Amino acid sequence: MRFSIWPDLDEPWPELRALVAHADLTGWDTVYVEDHFITHSAPESPLLEATGTLAALAAATERISLGTLVLSVTYRHPAVIANWAATVDQLSAGRLVLGLGAGWEEHEHAAYGLRLGSPGERVDRFVEGLAVVQGLLTQPRTTVEGRFFQVRDAACEPKPHQDHVPILVGAKGPRMLGVVAEHADRWNMWGSPAQVADKAAVLDAHCERIGRDPRSIERSTQSMVCVTDDPGRAQAFLEEHGTSGRAAIAGSAAEVAERIAAYAEVGVDEYILLTSDLGRGAQRLEALDALGAALVATQS
């Protein structure tokens, strides 16, 4: 199993850059960034934009892969996404993981006057957007005459540095899992090992229906994490996040690593660590190093 990080974009750029540079030097596989413009709890709070941040990180790192988790096709035309992706893949010498999603954040769409639409409409729009992105990244010219997007004899040059930029799709609904089976290289969802296993069975069934090997799709997940030697703090963290419906892990570095290792047993290829509850500055780097060492130990 690979191990990656997912920092928040609500911190100052120098701090974010230092964190990712440290992860680059210490063996973490990928850094992922979210695609939001407004924080949930404080809309006035600063929040760095995903595509600009990832381009800057491409120049500030040497080894670590760079991923979006995930770009919404409701925020940017897919032709814009494709041209951005090709450029960042060139800038990073082939380190981009292009994560895409159908969109879900209602208050953000309302604030910016962007149409979100019904769940069915979102999936339809997403499938069209994928056709535009994949065509532009791989074909000399692309034409898509859809309901939501129309591109005609469109070019995207230069092409990415990689022969094939991995397309990651975030999904958990039955229809979107079908889209993953048909179009994606990687699949991501939040959840506990049991929740991931449940949705993976649906994905596998979609793959079998269309004649695709289910294991040709890499699987990734993430959860809230607190590294602490204080049992009381760990329990409070689990209780706090248990009410939100999002998976959470808390305990010493060794205990957290052991629980993360359980994801490998349900076929997860990559675990993505949220760094938001690891503190800041030197404290965060120490926690990251301690957890990294513990995770390596689980692999041996």
pLDDT digits 0-9 by tens, 114-145: 999 999 999 999 999 999 999 999 999 999 99
Q: Is 280 inside any structural domain?
A: no
**Residue 125: HSE in the Cβ half-sphere, 13 Å Cα cutoff:** 21
Q: What is the pLDDT of residue 30?
A: 98
Q: Active-site residue 36, yes or no?
A: yes
User: Strand 150-154 vs strand 142-145: parallel, antiparallel, or unpaired?
Assistant: antiparallel
- Mean of the per-residue pLDDT values for the chain? 96
- Domain for residue 300, yes or no? no
Q: Mean of the pLDDT values across residues 64-88?
A: 97
Please give the pLDDT value at position 52.
98
pLDDT of residue 44: 80
User: Has residue 85 been placed in a domain?
Assistant: yes
Please identify which residue in the block is written with the tokens 């990656």: 4
Structural domain contains residue 17:
yes
For 119, the domain range is 2-170
The percent of residues above 70 in pLDDT, for the chain, comes to 99
pLDDT at 182: 98
Whether pLDDT at 255 is above 90: yes
pLDDT range class, residue 168, cuts 50, 70, 90 = very high
CA 10, CA 280: separation in Å to the nearest integer?
A: 12
Q: How many CB atoms are located within 10 Å of the residue 115 CB?
A: 12
What are the residues whose beta carbons fall under 8 Å from the beta carbon of 281, sequence distance 6 or more? 15
Q: Which class for 159: exposed (0-12), middle (13-18), buried (19 or more C-beta within 10 A)? A: middle
How many domains does the structure of the chain reveal?
Answer: 1
Assess if residue 166 is contained within a domain. Answer: yes
Task: Enter the pTM of the model.
Answer: 0.96
pLDDT band at 282 (very low <50, low <70, confident <90, very high): very high
d(CA 268, CA 197): 9
Which amino acid, residue 81?
Answer: I
Rounded Cα distance, 53 and 20, in Å: 11
Domain membership of residue 71 (yes or no) is: yes
- Tens of pLDDT, residue by residue over 18-48, are 999 999 999 999 999 999 998 877 778 899 9
Distance CA 78, CA 146 (A): 12
**Measured between alpha carbons, how far is 4 from 272 in angstroms, rounded to an integer?**
5
**27 domain-assigned:** yes
Question: What's the token pair of residue 78?
Answer: 């897919």
Q: Is there a domain that residue 60 lies in? A: yes
pLDDT tens by residue, 206-253: 999 999 999 999 999 999 999 999 999 999 999 988 777 689 999 999
Rounded distance between C-alpha atoms, residue 5 and residue 12, angstroms: 17
Mean pLDDT of 83-104: 98
Q: Which residues pair with 97 in a beta bridge?
A: 67
CA 217, CA 180: separation in Å to the nearest integer? Answer: 8
Query: What local confidence, expressed as pLDDT, does residue 242 receive?
Result: 76
Domain at 14, CATH number: 3.20.20.30
- Strands (DSSP E) contained in 171-215 are 186-190
- What pLDDT shows up at residue 109? 94
Of 34, 105, 108, 218, catalytic: 105
Structural contact between residues 9 and 277, judged by C-beta atoms closer than 8 angstroms: no
Handedness of CA 206, 97, 29, 6 (dihedral sign): negative
Catalytic choice (11, 22, 36, 258): 36
Is residue 180 within 8 Å of residue 111, measured between CB atoms? no
Secondary element (H or E) of residue 79: helix 78-91
Compute the distance between CA of residue 76 and CA of residue 57 in angstroms, rounded to an integer.
20
At 53 the three-state DSSP class reads helix
- 89-98, 182-191, 255-264, 291-300: range with lowest mean pLDDT: 291-300
- Among 53-67, 174-188, 232-246, 252-266, where is mean pLDDT lowest? 232-246
